Structure 1
C-alpha cells in the first residue's frame, strides 16, 4: 500500500494540472470574456457630443452659433489627489465644490465617468491641460455652448441647459444621459429634435494612470457624431434689433408678421436680456439673478401676457356686423356719452366715421343689436343666445385659444361665453347691460400680443391668416416646416367687407394717431387703450402697411403708457418705416419713443 502512495500523488498532481491547463485553455482560447473585462479596464468610452444646428435669420444672417467648451470628467475609483491645495489652485475650484462634485460622481458610479468641473472655457483649458497627466482618473470631453453674435431675440430663440431628472424620465428615446444639454425654451426647445444632432462614441486605450494611449483597435468601434440641422428663422435681424432698441427701458411687446405667410418678422418681449448671459459656466448664477428681478424678464409677453384689446377690437366688431347684415356702411348712431364715455368728435357718425374716430357709443349700440336679436321672448335668454352666437364668430379670428405658434408655453386669450356669466352672476341674472364693455374690447375679453398681430394680418389679408410661426426653412428646405404653418385659415367674413375697413383704418391715423403718419407710405392702423386697474392704462396699436400691398402687420403693447396714439402708435410707425424703407427719416419721433415720457 505504501508503495502505491507516490503513484497516487503523481496521478492527483497530473489531474490537477490537467484541470488547470484546461481552464487556462478555455480562458485564453475559447472564452474571451476575461479578455473583454481586461480590455474594459483599459478602455475609456468617450461620448462625442455633436454641435447643435445653427440658426439664421430670414436673410441668412447668423443668429446663433456654437462655441467649444470643455468638461473635466472624473472616474472616482481611479482618482486620487495627494496635494489638495495644489489641485485647487491648478484647476481653479473651491474645496467645497470639489467635494460636492466628487461625492455626486461617486454616488452615480465609481467606475463610470462623471463631470467634475463643467463648462471650462478654451482659455482655462489651455492652463490645465498639461497637468492632467498628474491626476489619474481625469480626462476632458468637448462640448459646445450657444453664442450670439448679435445679442437679440432671447425670448424667440430660447436657451439650452443641463437636462434634469424629470426630463430624463420622460425621454422615451433613451437619447439623453445625465449631464446632457437640451433646449429649454423658445426655438431651442420646440425644434430640439432637429437642432440636437446625433451623438458619436470614441473608445480610447489608457494606461493605469489614465494617460491616453490612442484609439482602441484603431477606432474600429468608433462612431462619428452628426451635427444638428441648421434652421432658418423668419426673424429679420435688423428689424428685431431696432425694435429692441426702441423698447429698451419699457415693459410690453412688439410682434410683427408678414401677412401673406404668417412669418414672424420681429418678436420682442420687454424687458429683455442678453442671451449670452445664459451660456457657459455662469448660467446658474445669471439665471438666478434674472429670475429674481421684479421686472420678470423671463416672462414671454408676446405669448403669455394677456390684455384687453381695447378699441382695436372695434374692427372685429365692425366686420362681424357687416357679415351678419346688422351693420352697413351707412349705419349711423349718435355719440351718446350717457351710454359710455367718449372723446370729442363729430356726431352722429356712420361706420366709417366710427372707426376713424373710435366712437365708443357707436359700438355700444351696434353690439347691442348683435347680441339682442329678439330670437327669444325672454330678454335674459335672448342675450345668452346672442352672446354665444357672437362668440363663435369671434373665435374664428384666432382669439379665445392658442394660435399654435412654434413655441412652448403659449397662453390662449379669453372670449367669454354665457357659461362664464352664469357662474359669476347666476343663470338668468345677467343681460346686455352687464356685458356691454365687450363692445369696446374691455371687460372679460383678453388677448395676447401675438393674437393682436395676427388680427392685423387678417385685416391686411382681407379675411384669412396663416398660423404665426418662427421657422422659415429646415436645412434650407422651406417644404420641411410643419404643414400647419402652410395652411390658410378663413375667418368667415367676405373680402368685400374689408375695403371699407382698410380705408377707415388708413384714415384713422389722422383722427387718433397722427404721429404714426409716414410720408409716401399709407399705413392702416387702429389705436387702443387697454384699461389697467393697477396703474396707468396700456398703450395699444395694430397696423399694416403698405395699405394696398401689405408686407408687414404689427401689434404693439406698451404697458402703463396711456393712450394708444402715443407710445404704441409711434413705436409701430418707426418699425414699419424701418422695415419698408430701411431707414428712419423722423429722428424727432425716434427720440420721443426712446425718451419714454408718454404720460403727460
Structure 2
C-alpha cells in the first residue's frame, strides 16, 4: 500500500469509530438515562389523554360576558380495549339498542382506528352522565368520560353574530388548514367562532396515565413529568352592546328583516339583528344536531344572516347618495328645484310621487323631506347624461365609481363570514340586459333606489356612517380588541377610509335635508326629544313568485338614520320585509333602538309603540304556519310581550 493511501485510511477509520461512539452514547441515553420514550412506547401500560382547553370568552362593549363555558361530558371509546363489559346495561343507560352499539363501534374504528379513542356518545345530558358516572367501573375496559367545554348564552341573543361550534368533519380534517386537529375536536363553524377560531381555541394539553393489567388507572406517568398543560383561548372584546342587541331581537320577533347599528366614530357594530331570531342556546348541548336540522329546514331561513347576506333595493334610502353625487359634480346647488306636479313623466314612464302640491321639490332640502321621486330621478339622469362624460355609458361608469366609493356593490370586509357584496350594475350588465341599446331613461329608477341596485343592511348603515362623518368611515367590525394579542389581526379595522373630495357643503345640504325628513317629513316617528336625528325613509318594491308566477308582493319597510346630527354616536339601517312603508315598521324600530342607546332608557310615551312592534307579525301566513321558530324558542324560556314591556317600562 502506498504512503499516499495511509492518511486516507486513518481518516475513514476515525470517522467510523466516531459514528459508532455517537450511536452507542445515544442508545445508552435513551435506554438508561431517559425513560420517557421507553414509557411512552409501552402501549399496554400508558394511555395518552387529551386535555381540552377552555375556549376564549366573548364580552360586549361594557365588559359583559355574552357567552360563557359550561362543561358537558363525552363518552369516549377505544375499540381495541373493549372487553367483557355489560353491553345491555350500557345500551340501557344510553337508550340505544345493540345494533346501534355495534354501529357506533364500527364508526369509531372507521374514523380513528382500533387503538385510538373516539367519541361514542357526545355531550351527554345531565341525567345520562349521572347514571354513567355511578357505573363507570363496569365499563372501564375501553370507555371513559371526557369533559368537554361547551358554550352557553346568558342573554339568549346574537346567534347569527356569535355562530356556533361543532365537531370537525372528516372533510375538514383532510384540509391543510386543520392539520393540527383530530377527529372528535370541536371547532368554530360559523360567525365569530369561525373567524377567530385560531384565537379562541387555545392549545390542547396531554396527560399520560398509567394503567395496570386490568386496565385500571394507576396515576400519572412519572408524576406528570411528561404532561403538557392546556392553554386557554384568548378572550374577544366586542363593540356590540348586548342590551341593544337584545332589544333589537325582541322588536324583530315574528318579522323577517334586519337591524344594523354602527358607531360612526369607530366602525364598531353596536347591534346586528337578523329576523326571525332564535336562541343560540339551541345550538349547544346534546340537542344541537336535532335543532340545527330544524332551523336549516325552517321556511323563514333563520340561519340566513340578513344583516350581511340578504340584499334589498334600498328605495328612497338611496336618495341622499344621489344628491351627493349631483352636488359633488357641480350639477346642482342646494337651491336647485324641480317643477314636480306629482309624477315624473319625461321618459314616457309615469313614476308617481307622494306629493303633488306646488313647491314640494323647490330645493334639495325640501325635496329630501318630501322624498320626491321625480327630483331624484332627474338628478340621476343629469349625472349620467352630463356633457363632460361624452355619453351615457361613460356617465354611468362614473356614477358607479361613486357608488363603489360609498361602499356599495362590493364586500366591506366585516369580520364574520358570508358577507354579500350586493349589486350595482356596470355597463356590461346593462348592455346584456338591454342588448346594447339603453340610455338614462332605461335605468332612471336607480336614482330613487330601485332598478339594478341591491344593498345589504350593513352597507346602508355604513353609508349613514359616511354621511354622518362628512366623508369617511371605518370598516364595520365586531371585535374591538383581543386579550393579550399583539398581532396585526385587527389593524385594518382601525384605518380611516376617506370617500374622496366630496365637499363639506355637499354633506351639509344632504344632512340638513335628512334632518328635515325627521322634523317634518316622512320620518317624524323617529324624533327623540332633545336630539337632532337625521334619516331617510324608504319603501322597497318586493317581487316574488306565487304559484310559479312573478307578482308584486307587500313592499319592504326601510329606514336609515344617524344621531345626533353633530358628533354622531349611532348610525342605523332597518329593513322589515313585507311590512309596507318605511314609516310603518322600520321608523319606530329604529327610533326605539336609537333612544335606548343614546339615553339608556325609553320614555313611557313609547310604550304603545313598542307594544305594537312586539305584538305585530309580518311573516307571510304560509311561512308562519310551517315555521318551528316559536316552538323552539319556547323550549329555552322565551318571554311574552307583557314580560318584555315590564322590563323597559316600570
- Same fold by TM (over 0.5)? yes
Aligned to 1:423: 432
Trace 1:363-374 onto structure 2 (pairs within 5 A). Answer: 363-374=376-387
CA drift of 1:131 comes to 2.0
The residue number in structure 2 matching 1:276 is 281
Q: Which residue in 2 is equivalent to 1:396?
A: 405
Please list every run of 5 or more consecutive structure 1 residues that lacks an aligned counterpart in the other structure: 1-24
Partner of 1:125: 129
1:373-423 Cα offsets, whole Å, 9 max, x none, are: 13477xxxx111110011111110111100000011101011111110111
Q: Distance in 1 between matches of 2:63 and 2:531?
A: 27
Q: Mark the CA change 1:345 to 1:574 in structure 2 (over 3 Å): closer, same or farther.
A: farther
Equivalent position of 2:182 in the other structure? 177
Deviations 1:480-529 (A, max 9, x none): 65111001111122233211211111111221022222222221110011
The verdict on how the C-alpha distance between 1:87 and 1:518 changes in structure 2, with shifts beyond 3 A counting, is same
Question: Given the two structures, how large is their TM-score scaled by the length of structure 1?
Answer: 0.91
SS of match in other structure, 2:560 = strand
Spell out, residue by residue over 1:141-191, the C-alpha distance to the aligned partner (whole angstroms, 9 max, x if none). 221111111110000111001111222122346210011110011110111
**Relative to 1, partners in 2 of residues 1:503 and 1:516: Cα closer, same or farther, differing over 3 Å?**
same
Q: Kindly state the Cα deviation for residue 89 of structure 1 after the two structures are TM-superposed.
A: 1.9
DSSP 3-state at the match of 1:512: coil
Are 2:588 and 1:570 aligned?
yes
- The answer as to 2:450 corresponding to 1:447 is no
Distance 2:209 2:535 in 1: 65
Is the Cα–Cα contact under 8 Å of residues 257 and 263 in structure 1 kept in the other structure?
yes
Q: Report deviation, 1:208.
A: 2.9
Residues 531, 38 of structure 1: alpha-carbon distance in 2 compared, 3 angstrom cutoff: closer
Write the mapping of 1:366-515 to structure 2, written as runs, cut at 5 A.
366-375=379-388, 382-427=391-436, 429-475=437-483, 482-492=490-500, 493-509=502-518, 510-515=520-525
Asked if structure 2 preserves the Cα contact closer than 8 Å seen for 1:153 and 1:240, the reply is yes
Asked whether the equivalents of residues 481 and 490 of structure 2 are also in contact (C-alpha less than 8 Å), the reply is: no
CA distance 1:37–1:598, change in 2 (3 Å): closer
CA displacement 1:414-453 (0-9 Å, x = unmatched): 11111101111222x1111111111111011010000011
* Deviating more after overlay: 566-575 vs 136-145: 136-145
Distance 1:354 1:537 in 2: 22
TM-score by length of 2: 0.84
Instruction: State the match for 1:297 in structure 2.
Output: 302
SS in 1 for 2:184: coil
- Deviation of 1:597 (Å): 6.8
1:530 aligns to 2:540 (yes or no): yes
Larger mean CA deviation between 124-133 and 477-486 belongs to 477-486
- CA distance 1:202–1:508, shift in 2 (3 Å): same
Matched, 1:256 2:261: yes
Alignment of 1:334-353 (within 5 A): 334-336=339-341, 337-339=343-345, 340-348=351-359, 349-353=362-366
Residue of structure 2 aligned with 1:309, choices 286, 311, 314? 314
Offset of 1:195 from its aligned partner? 0.2
Q: Measured at CA, do residues 35 and 440 of structure 1 come closer, stay the same or move farther in structure 2, by a change above 3 Å?
A: closer
- Whole-angstrom CA distance in 1 between matches of 2:153 and 2:376: 48
Preserved CA contact (<8 Å) 2:355 2:372: no
Change (3 A) 1:119 1:328: same
- Whether the aligned pair in 1 keeps the contact of 2:53 and 2:232 (CA below 8 Å) is yes
How far off is 1:93 after superposition? 3.6
Contact 1:303–1:448 (8 Å) recurs in 2: yes
Partner of 1:589: 609
Helix, strand or coil for the counterpart of 2:254?
A: coil
Tell me the CA shift for residue 338 of structure 1: 4.1
Give me the whole-angstrom Cα distance separating, in 1, the residues matched to 2:182 and 2:479.
28
Residue pair 1:335, 1:362 contacting (<8 A) in 2 also: yes
Tell me whether 156-165 or 492-501 shows the greater mean CA deviation.
Answer: 492-501
Task: Verify the 8 A CA contact 1:513 1:569 in the aligned structure 2.
Answer: yes
* Contact 1:567-1:596 within 8 A present in 2 as well: no
2:124 paired with 1:116: no
Once the two structures are superposed, the pairs formed by residues 61-100 of structure 1 within 5 Å of their partners are: 61-81=64-84, 83-100=86-103
Distance 1:367 1:32, change over 3 A: closer
Kept after mapping to 2: 8 A contact 1:262/1:469: yes
Which residue is equivalent to 2:624?
none
1:156 matched to which residue of 2?
161
Q: How far apart are 1:124 and its partner, in Å?
A: 3.2
Task: Tell me the SS of whatever aligns to 1:305.
Answer: coil
Deviations 1:204-245 (A, max 9, x none): 011233211100111111000000001111110110011111
Distance 1:332 1:473 in 2: 48
Unmatched runs of 5 consecutive residues or more in structure 2: 1-27, 346-350, 545-552, 620-650
Over the aligned positions, Cα root-mean-square deviation in angstroms equals: 2.3
Give the deviation of 1:464 after TM superposition.
Answer: 0.6
Q: State the aligned residue count.
A: 569
The alpha-carbon deviation at position 117 of structure 1 amounts to 1.3
Query: Aligned with 1:120: secondary structure?
Result: coil
Matched residues in 2 for 1:587 and 1:413: separation? 36
Counterpart of 2:9 in structure 1 is none
2:324–2:506 CA contact under 8 A, matched in 1: yes
Higher-Rg structure is 1
Q: How far has the Cα of 1:97 moved from its partner?
A: 3.1
1:107-256 equivalences under 5 Å are 107=110, 108-135=112-139, 136-172=141-177, 174-256=179-261
SS at structure 1 position matched to 2:106: helix
Whole-angstrom distance in 2 between the partners of 1:276 and 1:252: 22
Cα distance in 2 for partners of 1:338, 1:302 equals 33
Contact 2:261 2:570 (8 Å CA) reproduced = yes
The aligned counterpart of 1:362 is 375
Other structure's SS at 1:301 match: coil
Distance in 2 of aligned mates of 1:33 and 1:575: 61
Q: Report the CA distance between 1:347 and its aligned residue.
A: 3.1
Q: Per-residue deviation at 1:267?
A: 0.7
Q: 1:574 to 1:32 in 2, by over 3 A?
A: closer
Q: Structure 2 residue aligned with 1:40, among 39, 43, 47?
A: 43
Contact 1:562 1:598 (8 Å CA) reproduced: no
Q: Which region of structure 1 is more displaced relative to structure 2, 540-549 or 36-45?
A: 36-45
